[in-house]
Chain A
Amino acid sequence: MISLAGRDILHAWGKFVFTGMGLGLLIGVTLIMAGVYRGMVDDAKVLLDNSGADLWVVQQNTLGPYAESSSIYDDLWRSIKAMPGVKNAVNATYLTMQVHFDNHDVRTMVTGISYGGPGTAGWPPYLVAGRHITRSHYEAVADIATGFKVGDLIQVRRNHYNVVGLTRRMVSSNGDPMVFIPLKDAQEAQFLKDNDAIWQQRRRTFNNPEFNRAGFPGLIDAVIDDQSSNQFVNTVLVQVDHKYNIEETAENIRKWKRLTVYTRHQMEDIIVGKLIASSARQISLFLVILALVSAAIVAFIIYTLTIGKTREIAVLKLIGTKNSTIAAMIIKQAIALGLIGFVVGKITATFGAPLFPKHVLLEPADALRGLAAVIVICILSSIIAIRAAIKVDPAEAIGG
């Protein structure tokens, strides 16, 4: 038996191809939307992977340092490092801000890293150009996505930093590229006030009789000095000795230091489940809407094509064609339309994804799921057309 669907498609290939292309653009957008979500999850995992930490010690009862602000003293790391099972503990700060360069701003996550080297928690694990930070101040390593180059002079708040190295795929959970600077500089950047605010605070402190008391020389200077420095960091990144259990080490720190400690798994849950959850829901809703629109388009096109063949269907029925043969013809055409759309959509997504400002991760498994969804949608969409075709009376082929 010849393929009626195949012959009809070949006969009206232009209609199918152009409709398929239109549908394909819609499918392409759907795949990119799924890719945006995957990219967000991937960014979150990359952030955690690149930190090199087993545990995140943060302010009590906060979801810091990525999902909420967290502030802990910058000398806590010493006592944490002395805990059993802790191989290394270092301070880190994270601040999402605009970095100024060459008359334009780049949105980045400025990360303050402690003294150390590659392999130390918080440090970029590898570079693609230049070298790591070797000085205590005014050097930076930037992700290549910032657009900075080695030797560029960037401005963070009031200070300028020399870009000495470049790294790749070091991004925040929002996809903002990271800029690594020394911890002290980062602390200053995080808490630094402008000159007017500093001057006003000094005047208030000076006029406060509690701080400026006769008989206590040096008190006012000590208070002002304390006010203009920052002793806080966002988190302590902990690397656990492989001989120790990570969960038990975390529990020890929680118990004895009265701080909140997250394992890698818990941190991933926070970022994926809380930080990007609303974005994920929004994207899911978009996916549902796009699926419904695709279904409506396929249903309309297939229904229109079927209604346009009413006389032929009547003739086919009159000469003995089974309803199932006609239904199969319609379903095959709907699937063919979907397949054309999927191929166009996949190509569109593959070539379009790099143009998006955020990381779009197109996973083969998602493409396969998309293909399955397209086929199911096409089959369901053809039901209306099949019902119309089955209702066609073979008598319509005979006049009268």
Chain B
Amino acid sequence: MIDKGIRIAGLKKRYGFGDTAVDALKNINMYVKPGEVVGLIGPSGSGKSTLLKCLGAVIEPTFGKMMLGEEIIYDNGWLVGDIRALRRDKIGFVFQAPYLIPFLDVVDNVALPSMLAGASNYNARSRAQDLLKALEVEHRAKAMPSHLSGGEQQRVAIARGLVNYPPVILADEPTAPLDSERALIVIKILNEMAKKFDTAVIVVTHDEKIIPTFKRLYHIRDGVTYEEEGQGRGFE
């Protein structure tokens, strides 16, 4: 048993039925400790996005088991009544592009998931301000997303992913649009935040620049995960 983090055992995902069925995920086994950042790499079509959607409770796996901390959330079927609340409260998302809501300023973009979870506007904004400060973008709190640089937008997106202090963050190619320097800064921030908030972070990436930074990696090939030691030291 584990206290926090995410554990996946024997996860499968099949699309279609009968002769046309495709097994996108065949046997996925992962464990990410709290405070740890792991990389998930693999060629196109290997099942990375499908796995991310399963982990993010966006699509339902076909078979297997998923645990968030000590809570079994999937065991050959969802064990959680409100999937939307699960996504809102237990999973943080960071996307390839920041996908900030263009009509909300920075602080409200970050505070929105917290408001959706029922926090008062004051508390949610206060929490958002703290995160923006930790990510060193608090001076842009009142700016609109279109007025931010790419790196600033990605930091704000990370802050949004963290605002409900989820046990797990799923980052989908978070450094793809950034240059080497900014990409490394984003990974460093993710490592710092993982440690600070005891969050398990899974980073799906193709990015050769950041792969060497991971201490632990999962390769996914033909729907099967293979664990390997990484070269990085996780910005210790």
A interface residues, Cβ below 8 angstroms from B: 1-2, 4, 7-8, 10-12, 311-312, 315-322, 325, 393-395, 397-400
Contacts and interface: CB of A to CB of B under 8 A. Distances in A.
Interface of A is mostly: helix
B59 A395 contact: yes
Contacts of A2: 104, 108, 112, 115, 121
Contact of A315 (B84, B89, B101, B144): B101
Chain B's interface size range is: 20 to 34
B117 interface: yes
A294 B96 CA distance: 40
Contacts of B50: 400
A306 to B, nearest CB: 13
A238 B96 CA distance: 88
A397 B84 CA distance: 15
Given A7-B108, A397-B95, A320 B53 contact: no
B17 interface: no
A398 B101 contact: no
B174 to A, nearest CB: 11
Given A319-B112, A319-B160, A397-B95, 16 more contacts: A1-B116, A8-B103, A11-B144, A318-B56, A318-B58, A319-B88, A320-B85, A320-B88, A320-B116, A322-B84, A325-B116, A395-B59, A398-B53, A398-B172, A400-B50, A400-B53
A94 B115 CA distance: 73
A9 to B, nearest CB: 8
Contact of A395 (B53, B101, B108, B173): B53
A318 B99 CA distance: 11
10 contacts: A2-B104, A2-B108, A10-B103, A12-B103, A317-B84, A318-B56, A320-B113, A320-B117, A398-B53, A400-B172
A7 B49 CA distance: 32
B130 to A, nearest CB: 18
A335 B103 CA distance: 18
Nearest to B108: A2
Interface string B94-116: 01100101111000100011011
A318 B93 contact: yes
Contacts of A315: 95, 99, 101
